[in-house]
Amino acid sequence: MSAGGWQEWRAADAAEWLRPPTADDDKYSRGVLGVVTGSHEYPGAALLGVEAATRSGVGMVRYTGPRPVRALVLARAPEAVTTAGRVQAWLLGSGMDPARRSFVLIGELEHALASGVPVVLDAGALDLVGAHSAPTVITPHARELATLLADREVRTSVEEVRSDPAAWAARAAREIGVVVLLKGAVTHIADPDGAAITVTAPTHRLATAGSGDVLGGILGALVAASHERLANDAHALAPIAATAVLVHGLAAERAVAEVDGGPIVASDLTAQLQRVLGQLAG
Amino acid sequence: MSAGGWQEWRAADAAEWLRPPTADDDKYSRGVLGVVTGSHEYPGAALLGVEAATRSGVGMVRYTGPRPVRALVLARAPEAVTTAGRVQAWLLGSGMDPARRSFVLIGELEHALASGVPVVLDAGALDLVGAHSAPTVITPHARELATLLADREVRTSVEEVRSDPAAWAARAAREIGVVVLLKGAVTHIADPDGAAITVTAPTHRLATAGSGDVLGGILGALVAASHERLANDAHALAPIAATAVLVHGLAAERAVAEVDGGPIVASDLTAQLQRVLGQLAG
Amino acid sequence: MSAGGWQEWRAADAAEWLRPPTADDDKYSRGVLGVVTGSHEYPGAALLGVEAATRSGVGMVRYTGPRPVRALVLARAPEAVTTAGRVQAWLLGSGMDPARRSFVLIGELEHALASGVPVVLDAGALDLVGAHSAPTVITPHARELATLLADREVRTSVEEVRSDPAAWAARAAREIGVVVLLKGAVTHIADPDGAAITVTAPTHRLATAGSGDVLGGILGALVAASHERLANDAHALAPIAATAVLVHGLAAERAVAEVDGGPIVASDLTAQLQRVLGQLAG
Amino acid sequence: MSAGGWQEWRAADAAEWLRPPTADDDKYSRGVLGVVTGSHEYPGAALLGVEAATRSGVGMVRYTGPRPVRALVLARAPEAVTTAGRVQAWLLGSGMDPARRSFVLIGELEHALASGVPVVLDAGALDLVGAHSAPTVITPHARELATLLADREVRTSVEEVRSDPAAWAARAAREIGVVVLLKGAVTHIADPDGAAITVTAPTHRLATAGSGDVLGGILGALVAASHERLANDAHALAPIAATAVLVHGLAAERAVAEVDGGPIVASDLTAQLQRVLGQLAG
């Protein structure tokens, strides 16, 4: 397989997909993101994702993961709200083990998927893709994509996905019917109608624990903030996803520069998000 | 209805309503603010409000909300005291659901309202206005004001309040007999005797979760710090309220500038309060 | 009564009383401070005092207050150790209610007072002064000093102490046989042998909740760091106490400058301590 | 005894032993460090070590100490993962009392030592050295080394170790068959094959509580990041250990400079690690 016609996403492309607030906005009209991530085993994913989302220009973030995790989330992000309520988009799955879902959690995930608003499916919720019809972005890495395709009886392997990510991202988008954001040093974003966008990471230092959780938070926030546009234009989802990856990379680039080229941790990314978004919006 | 004679509040107007400490002051004479906010459902409101209050020039903040929330509050603001005691003003209601008040909480709120010192009523305590006679500021947004007026059999709607906030703020102040601080891109402050002040938000980025909780904290602190003046001059309450809104907006403006025009979170505001107050005091 | 011969303490005086580490030092030889402060009612005092002590140049801080408070302390100051062990000085009493001492706490306080190492007695442990013979500094404000003197059948009042703090500090030092650090806009330090030092606060913004807890931490650390000198020279205690007050004031001055003259909170002081000590040591 | 041929480690020597990420890396290939440190008695050691490790360029840190400590760890370092899983190196022992090992902990330590991957043994796990065959660095101070040698029926004392640390470090490396990192104002690193490296601390302010815990974290991270190299070259362990000590010292030097020569706390070191590593990597 091979792939052509991929567009490398740039700062100038991204600006259009951010949604600045206006005088008529309140926190609800700016978009509310519902987040069901983290677990007793992996609470850190929730902390990173929620913090990233609150800093990415959404009106409100509702986090409704496990109760002890909520306290940790609030200590980092007191702006987050930890009760259920109306949301305009969902972020599901970071920091969860799909083999250990409680009945309560299954109910919450089903509720979210049935709500009809756009959904970002990450990590421990990837297996739920296809169980719903709302606009959806999935955020697998190569191994996770290979598994998803295998579940659909498409023969492939991690190695094959890694050697031709463009083709496999596009194929998965068509097969599964969702926007596929295949993570890597070059991230490939494909939608079922043929959108094909790449984003090249500006630094290899992004390959660090929690980095993907931060990306989930950015993406969830951008989707929630664009809920009105998405209601009218399903094709907006791929460019919004590409914009999230671009923001993530630019945040890493700034974070690395701030430590003179040294290593970074995932929470360094959240500290840079607001500036990156400010500069992109121009 | 229409409204005239509203004064737009400026930095030069605000300076007079701040109360700098003198050589004779101790933390008690500088004013103690009692805070009953937050809940198991919404602890974040307490964190943001207390942190904002401690940074707004009061001598001490007493936070006596739910016990688990106190631990979260102290982790952010170890200067706060979490025991009951004498206070010179109260901040009540942020982050509370009026439909879920425990008997203990009802007792605390009644005690506060009966104490005779100035009171700021926010969010989940707005329905208590009128049950006491102390100098009072309420801080509704349009929907909350419409509900308050409806409770008093004044026919209106959110849409009407939004289309003529000046008139409805003034009307509510007269009807209810308190200072009304009607939040919005332009905030209207009216008192029963005709004071009419507007404060225009310098950035739309203020419309974000927790922003109102921070405003409550600033306002409570400024009221507590001016307790001696307020004891002699009931008309001081409206300009103090306007000053709080101005400080809130200036903090947002600084916070947005610091992230190159990007989005902000409510706790970014608290980080700017001390500088804003320093510059206003000249 | 009147007082003469008081020396105003300056930066040049302080340098000599700081104890910089040498190549032969380890964390034990640099001094270990034992801290028994804070309570379920007032945990914040422990957080502020321990954080201040760790940043004031001591080798180690042992905090052995109530267990839930230890978790809060460690979250702010992971350098602190929360087990009992050998110490070279004690800080006792901040954030405690003397009317609510548990048997365990009484045992801990008695153990500390009987250990023979220098002791700083603050707030809720002031009443214990006299029950031991180790070198001691007490840190009352005017009301607390009046109470201490009344307990010793010396007739006075808060007003009298406030109107002539120099005389009453000196009198108390003689009567009680300890170094008295009488807090105020001008702090008076007196020892039983006639040492008489004043430190004028460079800003009135120091009169804020938790400010005294930070002073306790600084003082405890400086005493522990000078444990060898104190073992040989009891007269060192008053100048060390004066140095602690000077450091506290300089930290406030820096903190206020950093917020353009605005209000400060007690934890702003701890953030400045290391720089102040660095500049004093030259 | 005397010692010759010791090499003082410099920045230029260190660069080669850092392992920058490449385009082909993911968080797993960059190295995963398993950490079993801290205890109910000494949780702070875990906080400092994990935070230091996450900032030293490893792909992931797994912390599996006591459950209440995990919550404290995550609050500081949400990037850490608190579940068991594959690791490429272990850091064991900081903040543990060897006399108080639970059965669970003994099982975890034995599991780690039997896994065959490189191990850093610190503080409360030093007594376990020799119970396994994996590449190992131990990090004693003089007293701990004297105890270790005494356990092997080598007659010495703290004083002797202090007076000739080079000789005793070398002797211990030969006797025990591991890399010995003997901490001090000058740290001596020796391996059984004769490697002999010194690192002179650039500041005496490093002698502070928690400093050794931070060193453990840096060292564990560098070892995990070099797991591929170590699999092929056992002699790499001593220079990697020396590099960790150098990074630790440079972080202290930067931290001291940042506070104008004042005292530092251990967590100040972690805040400088990323920059130090960035500048070393050039």
Closest residue of chain B to C73, computed from CA coordinates: B75
pLDDT digits 0-9 by tens, D196-246: 999 999 999 999 999 999 999 999 999 999 999 999 998 999 999 999 999
Residue D2 has a pLDDT of: 39
- Give SS3 for B216: helix
How far is C200 from C219, CA to CA, in rounded Å?
A: 17
Q: What's the rounded mean pLDDT across residues B203-212?
A: 96
Does residue C1 carry a pLDDT above 60? no
pLDDT digits 0-9 by tens, D65-94: 999 999 999 999 999 999 999 999 999 999
Q: Which of D41, D263, D264 sits opposite C83 (nearest CB)?
A: D41
Closest residue of chain A to D71, computed from CA coordinates: A72
Q: What's the rounded mean pLDDT across residues D181-206?
A: 97
Residue A1 has a pLDDT of: 38
How far is A109 from A135, CA to CA, in rounded Å?
A: 15
> Would you call C209 and B278 a contact, using CB atoms and an 8 Å cutoff?
no
> Would you call B59 and C209 a contact, using CB atoms and an 8 Å cutoff?
yes
In sequence order, the 6+-apart residues with CB closer than 8 A to the CB of A26 are A59, B141, B207
In sequence order, the 6+-apart residues with CB closer than 8 A to the CB of D42 are C81, C82, C83, D95, D96, D97
Closest residue of chain B to A21, computed from CA coordinates: B204
Confidence of residue B1 (pLDDT cuts 50, 70, 90): very low
Give A258 to chain D, closest Cα distance, Å. Answer: 8
Q: What's the rounded mean pLDDT across residues A115-135?
A: 94
Enclosing domain of residue A72: 3-281
Residue D1 has a pLDDT of: 38
Closest residue of chain A to B214, computed from CA coordinates: A79
Q: Are C125 and C101 within 8 A, CB to CB?
A: no
Q: Which of C48, C51, C209 sits opposite B27 (nearest CB)?
A: C209
How far is D182 from C47, CA to CA, in rounded Å?
A: 34
Give D233 to chain C, closest Cα distance, Å. Answer: 35
Does residue B217 carry a pLDDT above 50? yes
Top pLDDT among C139 and C3 is at: C139
Which residues of chain A are within 8 Å of residue B51 when distances are taken between CB atoms?
A: 78
Give the percent of chain B with pLDDT over 70. Answer: 99
Instruction: Report chain A's mean pLDDT, rounded to a whole number.
Output: 95
Confidence of residue C205 (pLDDT cuts 50, 70, 90): very high
> Would you call B209 and A57 a contact, using CB atoms and an 8 Å cutoff?
no
pLDDT digits 0-9 by tens, D111-165: 999 999 999 999 999 999 988 889 999 999 999 999 999 999 999 999 999 999 9
> Would you call D209 and C61 a contact, using CB atoms and an 8 Å cutoff?
yes
Residue D234 has a pLDDT of: 87
> Would you call C24 and D185 a contact, using CB atoms and an 8 Å cutoff?
yes
Residue B4 has a pLDDT of: 65
Q: Are B270 and B55 within 8 A, CB to CB?
A: yes
> Would you call A210 and D83 a contact, using CB atoms and an 8 Å cutoff?
no
Which residues of chain C are within 8 Å of residue D210 when distances are taken between CB atoms?
A: 78-79
Residues in the annotated binding site of A for (6S)-NADPHX: 45, 95, 141, 213
Q: Point out which residues pair with D15 in neighbouring strands.
A: none
Residue B133 has a pLDDT of: 86
Closest residue of chain A to B47, computed from CA coordinates: A78
- Give SS3 for C1: coil
pLDDT digits 0-9 by tens, A197-254: 999 999 999 999 999 999 999 999 999 999 999 999 989 999 999 999 999 999 999 9
Residue A133 has a pLDDT of: 86
Within chain D, where are the H helices? 11-14, 43-54, 67-76, 103-114, 142-151, 158-163, 165-176, 211-225, 227-232, 237-258, 266-281
Q: Which of D59, D82, D83 sits opposite A207 (nearest CB)?
A: D59
pLDDT digits 0-9 by tens, B236-260: 999 999 999 999 999 999 999 999 9
Provide DSSP, A81-104. Answer: B-S----SEEEE-TT--GGG--HH
In sequence order, the 6+-apart residues with CB closer than 8 A to the CB of C63 are C35, C37, C46, C50, C70, C73, C80, C81, C82
Q: Point out which residues pair with D19 in neighbouring strands.
A: none
Q: Which of A21, A54, A279 sits opposite B265 (nearest CB)?
A: A54
pLDDT digits 0-9 by tens, B99-111: 999 999 999 999 9
Q: Which of D79, D273, D281 sits opposite A267 (nearest CB)?
A: D79
Which residues of chain B are within 8 Å of residue C272 when distances are taken between CB atoms?
A: none
Amino acid identity at A165: P
Q: Is the ipTM of this complex over 0.90?
A: yes
pLDDT digits 0-9 by tens, A135-179: 999 999 999 999 999 999 999 999 999 999 999 999 999 999 999
User: What pTM, to 2 d.p., does this model score?
Assistant: 0.96
Which residues of chain A are within 8 Å of residue B202 when distances are taken between CB atoms?
A: none
- Give SS3 for B5: coil
DSSP state of D124: G
Helix (H) or strand (E) holding B126: none
CB atoms within 10 A of CB A130: 17
Which residues of chain B are within 8 Å of residue C259 when distances are taken between CB atoms?
A: 274-275, 277-278
Contacts across the B-C interface (CB distance below 8 Å) = 99
Residue A4 has a pLDDT of: 65
- Give SS3 for A62: strand
Work out how many domains chain A is built from and give that number.
1
Which residues of chain A are within 8 Å of residue D75 when distances are taken between CB atoms?
A: 72, 75-76
Give the percent of chain D with pLDDT over 90. Answer: 95
Residues in the annotated binding site of C for (6S)-NADPHX: 45, 95, 141, 213
pLDDT digits 0-9 by tens, C103-119: 999 999 999 999 999 99
Residue D230 has a pLDDT of: 96
CB atoms within 10 A of CB A207: 25
CB atoms within 10 A of CB A90: 28
Does residue A66 carry a pLDDT above 80? yes
CA A109 from chain center: how many Å?
16
Confidence of residue A3 (pLDDT cuts 50, 70, 90): very low
Please report, for the domain that includes residue C19, its CATH number: 3.40.1190.20
Residue C3 has a pLDDT of: 47
Contacts across the A-B interface (CB distance below 8 Å) = 100
Residue A264 has a pLDDT of: 98
How far is B227 from B223, CA to CA, in rounded Å?
A: 6
pLDDT digits 0-9 by tens, B7-31: 999 999 999 999 889 999 999 999 9
Confidence of residue D3 (pLDDT cuts 50, 70, 90): very low
> Would you call C79 and D48 a contact, using CB atoms and an 8 Å cutoff?
yes
Helix (H) or strand (E) holding D195: none
